[in-house]
């Protein structure tokens, strides 16, 4: 039995929000994540908020209400591995100092 037709896309049903002030990130990833099954949602309906660093206002708002936050690298890895990965280690949102180390 060929199982491939029955495999769900890696981000199937995941509600994702991008920081609207980061148009470059939205442009780079929007089509890819939608093709991978994600649903673009505003922050109040999102499960994961994609931001570049901890100083992004959206990061602070998302953490305050208990949402998961992840950097664009997390999206890349999920797409690369074809599964939704845990947001841990290098796949967590870093502060700018951590990025330069």
pLDDT digits (tens, 9 = 90+) for 24-49: 999 999 999 999 999 999 999 999 99
Are β-strands 15-18 and 48-50 bridged in parallel, bridged antiparallel, or unpaired? parallel
For the 4-100 domain, the top CATH level (class) is alpha beta
Give the model's pLDDT for residue 96. Answer: 64
Q: Confidence band (pLDDT; 50, 70, 90) for 7?
A: confident
E-strand ranges in 1-101 read 15-18, 39-40, 48-50, 68-70
Q: Can you tell me the distance from the alpha carbon of 2 to that of 14, in angstroms, rounded to the nearest whole number?
A: 25
Report the predicted TM-score, pTM, of the whole model to 2 decimal places.
0.85
Q: Can you tell me the distance from the alpha carbon of 56 to that of 86, in angstroms, rounded to the nearest whole number?
A: 21
3-class secondary structure, 62: helix
Give the model's pLDDT for residue 3. Answer: 62
Domain residue ranges in the chain: 4-100
């Amino acid at each position: 039995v060929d199982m491939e037709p029955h495999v769900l896309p890696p981000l199937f049903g995941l509600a994702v929000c991008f920081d609207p002030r980061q148009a470059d990130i939205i442009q780079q990833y929007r089509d890819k994540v939608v093709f991978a099954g994600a649903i673009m949602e505003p922050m109040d309906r999102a499960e994961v908020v994609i931001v570049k660093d901890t100083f992004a206002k959206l990061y602070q708002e998302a953490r305050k209400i208990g949402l998961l936050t992840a950097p664009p690298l997390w999206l890349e890895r999920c797409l690369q591995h074809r599964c939704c990965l845990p947001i841990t280690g290098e796949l967590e949102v870093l502060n700018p100092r951590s990025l330069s180390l």
